[in-house]
Structure 1
Amino acid sequence: MISDLESRVSRKLMLRIIPFVMLLYFVSFLDRVNVGFAALTMNKAIGLSPTAFGLGGGLFFIGYFLFEVPSNLILHKVGARRWIARVMVSWGIVSFASAFVVGPNSFYALRFILGVAEAGFFPGIILYLSLWFPSRQRALAAAWFMAAAPISTAIGSPLSGAIMKLPPIAGLTDWQLLYILEAVPAIVLGFVVLKYMTDTPSKAHWLQPEEREWLIAKLKMEADARHTHAGHTAGALSALRDPRVLALALIYFGTSAGLYTLGLWAPLIIRQYGFGSFETGLLAGVPSILAVIAMIVWAKHSDRTEERTWHVVIPCVVACLGFIFAGNATTALMIILALVVVNIGISAAKAPLWAMPSMFLSGAGAAAGIAMINSVGNLGGFVGPFVIGWLKNVTGGYSAGLYAVGATLAVSAVVTLMLSRQSKQTPVAAGERHGH
């Protein structure tokens, strides 16, 4: 039975922490994928071919990959508040500067630097949530946080489409205004983080003393229980070598390839059916609204049953089938339905997947391991968009690229099953089933 004290703490954590980190991720995701809308006029203006656009879109993840683990280890040392503030201000400045690219090379450079600036934000927040939420709430907390990505697409797509209809202002064209207007919130929020965010439960003066003590004791008890299991990893280097970390990174690779393929290419795929910028934005946003609902419901079910494996496998298979359907679509209705299926699958897989690392990682091991999963996994964000652009150049259509991205999600499903089978041979898996 959940005690009155526990439900009170849970409610306060959800209200204080989740809406704020969702807002941060909303702005982050907007700045990461608005390049898909800028492309509607930018590509022609600065001379980008589909291959060059796919490469530039993906270079973000190379910068991200290289700086992710160091960034998260710094966050573990200096605290989330200061480091997340630094991340947000720096990526806002780089996003603002993207309005002034003049050709392929400056486009490549700024996409790479944007990845460097933003490295550590997502795994930093995942690590931050693990310092606050007991294990029975962790998938739901992660789901609400990550719901900001599809919400960002749902709200940000029509918003970006509307900005793209603005007339030139002060000599700046539509795509330049898009970068500038969507960069400002990141810089402002960076300073808000310094005032609002609390590093650890022990500093949470917005909790009553008894609530604070209960939360600290509960998290310590769970940590102690994990430490008693064989196969627990607390060191940074051992986490980076842990085969389970590499397996989770490979699973995440497929979901990232799918997510960023949608973010970068969905506007251009929808546009080919003859829609204007604003209509394209509205249609790109529809699948995301349904994805948010699926994500929250699925995460709640995963937390309630304390089952993770099938809660990752089933959505990955659904998303894979969605990409195959998209590759065969011949009408606007078919492509929208396919994008709905893909969005639901990818979004639903993520929260149960991110509840897995804290089953066997803690301390610096968690900081390094979570960053490693995210950075290697996010290379899917480079591969997916690039493959779509390259195969479109080769074949003249989107189908081959969509099938290739679908295949990465099939691999994610298979690796999840293999990891589950492997984990059952160690005591760690039992810890998850008993709520440790």
Structure 2
Amino acid sequence: MYDELKKLDELSRRKFMQYSAKAFLGVGLSSTLGNNLWASPTGPMPTAKSVIYIYLSGGMSHIDTFDPKPDWEDQGPVEAIGTNVPGIQVSEYLPGLAQRMDKLALIRSMTSTQGAHEPGTYFMHTGYAKRGTIRHPGLGAWLNSMSGKTNSTLPGNIRIGGSNNAPGGAGFLDSKFEPLHLGSPDKGLPYVKRHHSIDEIEMEERLQIAQMMDLSFHKKYPSKKVNAYGDVYAEAIKLMKSSDLEAFDLNKEPQSVRQSYGNSNFGKGCLLARRLVEHGVRFVEVTHGGWDTHNDNHEKLTELTNPLDQTVSALLDDLYYRGLLEETLVVIGTEFGRSPILDGNAGRNHHPKAFSCVLAGGGIQGGQVYGATDERGDSVAENSVTVPDFNATIAYALGLPIDKVVYSPSGRPFRVADKGQPITALF
């Protein structure tokens, strides 16, 4: 038994010890053994191993969701409801999350300097305002660059939904840290099977011929970007032969679990995200779009919040009962809030001055509210949190060295979250 255990890699040994401890002692070892296995050598002790980042594209109305203002005349028809944490209220659109408030930390004092969608989304994903030709890395790229993958076969950074060219990619880091984009969560990973007319021997022969033909080119142009193409091919072949491909197959889930997440693309995306982090993917972003409610704000929000509430509630429960919530940081982010005043089309306009984001799991203490807005939800009244602060908090949970300076190819210095400081009170 001991000889077999020695043959396992470090992560597999850790999992074996965790399962044994739970079976024989009724305890888990993650708090004493696990965290340092995925830590950055120069960062703080991590509280999270992986991230599921839920991005609400378009700008979520904070006063109609996580920061209701029942006494404000333009609050509209939505009412505030109590949660399972006394003294904390959320919108009636979120009854499921209201009953899971003990797992959530609401940040009601977010503020941004970017009031348009594209620069706001870029800022939220990178912690930097977009300037010139420099492309800043997203958190998934920083994580895999600084801390590495925990599954050598699967990509460490995956994006589900949204645009393939959305910000938050590898930026100036190596292209291997670029997120793998999946347009549809229930179609699996495309183009990973050999054509039926080609057997494995012929496949190997073709690869060898391709390598020989590329050899002179690689010698003549030995750059990182050129070598990255070879790395991509090698990683793709390894993945083609791996049993980890099952992680992308939602049909492996019981029907009851799939129903709990809902039948929307967003629901399927979050279920896939859970499967991926369960298989060792470090960073998964799931996009839920449509939050740009300039017209008929409340009517649209009833359609948008229903899958949000059902799916995130199911995700939190699923992670919790699988023992994954303590090591998975769940993030709900958006580029800005919406104006407290309703316009002539019963809509709300862009409002970067004050908005809300949410964190759960991954060492975050649930059942709390950080910061506050004024009586209308117009301005931050207490404990302002900038976008770089928010990103620094995520990086801090992952054990990344937020003060470490990394130089771009042009020689310019950058940090994971610029000058942002983590909100340590949330942990």
TM-score by length of 1: 0.24
Higher strand share: 2
Higher helix share: 1
TM-score by length of 2: 0.24
Larger radius of gyration: 2
